[in-house]
Structure 1
Amino acid sequence: MRRVNLATIGLVLGAVYTLAPTLWIVVAATKSPAELFSTSTYLPSFNGGLVTNIRDLTAYQDGIFWRWMLNSFLYALIGGVVASLVSAAAGYALAKYEFFGRKVIFNTILAGVLLPQIVLAIPQYLLLSKVGMTDTFIGVLLPQLFNPYGIYLCRIYAAASVPESMLEAGRLDGAGEFRLFTSIGLRLMAPGLVTVFLLQFIVIWNNFLLPFVMLTSDSQFPVTVGLYSLLRHGAAEASLYSLVITGTLLSVLPVIALFLALQRYWRIDLVSGSVKQ
């Protein structure tokens, strides 16, 4: 009983620690710039501050915030889809084909999972600057198309969900390897690919350092870098703090919507669902 109580207390404390900043963002977004520093921290305002903040944020620099949101959506959507397909192809190949150096390649990918992505930002910038791809959409997108963790998950999922007997039957029927991958492998791996896509979408949406060092044009910024630039301007103009807080709240909504839309495909156990086909 005591262990259960300790576990419950730990879960409650973890929930409070996680939800408190989010609650603060929601409450602070309802306040006007004058109310932000003069009212109780967790006491919301009902004087129309949220509507006013959204209107002012939309009007700021001719609505550049919504351009930042669109940029983030394009970075995350295109990067998530392409990275998922790359991960699926690489994971499928590592799981289903015997070739020289397979274990070395897989171990290298595992090392990439353990390597913090923050240490790669500067080398990636230097490499892409050599070919003139800095301050471009491709310059931000290209480094995020290879996801070691996604390849690792797809390798495990392909090994568990794609039967060798089905592939052999397809080969006997004359199907090529590419057709086997697209018609059998991808279909059986679909539940796992949803998980990979969702994780990659969130990683790219929240990415800050890579676009921060890669981009100089405001029009190319994702919402994370855009809000940071707005926050720096807020150091000299306190009224912009309310816009930053409101923008932060709005930037969370697409991720929540995507998670709710895809949660029925979510698989904690990567093997579950593989035998439904």
Structure 2
Amino acid sequence: MTAAKPPAYKRVLLKVSGEALMGEREYGLDTATCRRIAEDVKGVVDLGVQVCLVIGGGNIFRGVSAAAAGMDRAQADYMGMLATVMNALAMQSALESIGVVTRVQSAIPMASVCEPYIRRRAERHMEKGRVVIFAAGTGNPFFTTDTAAALRAAEMRCDALFKGTQVDGVYSADPRKNPRAERYERLTYLDMLARDLQVMDAAAISLARENRLPIVVFNIHEPGAFTAVMKGEGRFTTVVEQIQ
């Protein structure tokens, strides 16, 4: 009997876009989708991996879009941060409904609904096996939730940053629009920046590079993909400092 393959990492951060929570809806939250993603997270937790999350807010409000329409950018970004708190609470509910102990920490203090972000407390939660969801981005306007994910992953001393996307890795173009798009198995941070592969923004990639934090890109919509990728199985792209 073949022994089960151990997980490739011991502590990871999963970045999920707000749009990933919509399911087939055009706006807002789909509870079935939230539960499916929660089950994927539970599968990784059950492997003994410490997990934290950052969730975007684009399914509710996008600060950049509102700013482009004439709203003050800082004000729009703060509204977007509040949208991420709503998504974090929804994901907490989904995780706890299947027995995963979870804490939400917000970069914007709101003690009535969640904890304030405190790095050492977050680490302690993870050491006890709790999933920590970081909400409200970095707490500052002009920064994306991708940058917040890279920042929190570095602060938590994660072994890797997992980015759940719409497709199974990084491509030279959107494969849903261009069937000839090339898929990459491994890339360097500089490849991502030089080729303008818009999986994450430049600030997030640069932050990951400075902290030698591998980025693993996979399809968040494929059930069980997070667990499979954690074992080194399935289809994904890994972004590192140098390709061996």
Q: State the TM-score bracket (shorter-chain normalisation).
A: under 0.3
TM-score after normalising by structure 1: 0.23
Q: Look at both structures and tell me which one has the larger radius of gyration over its CA atoms.
A: 1
More helix by share: 1
Higher relative contact order (CA 8 A, sep 6+): 1
More strand by share: 2
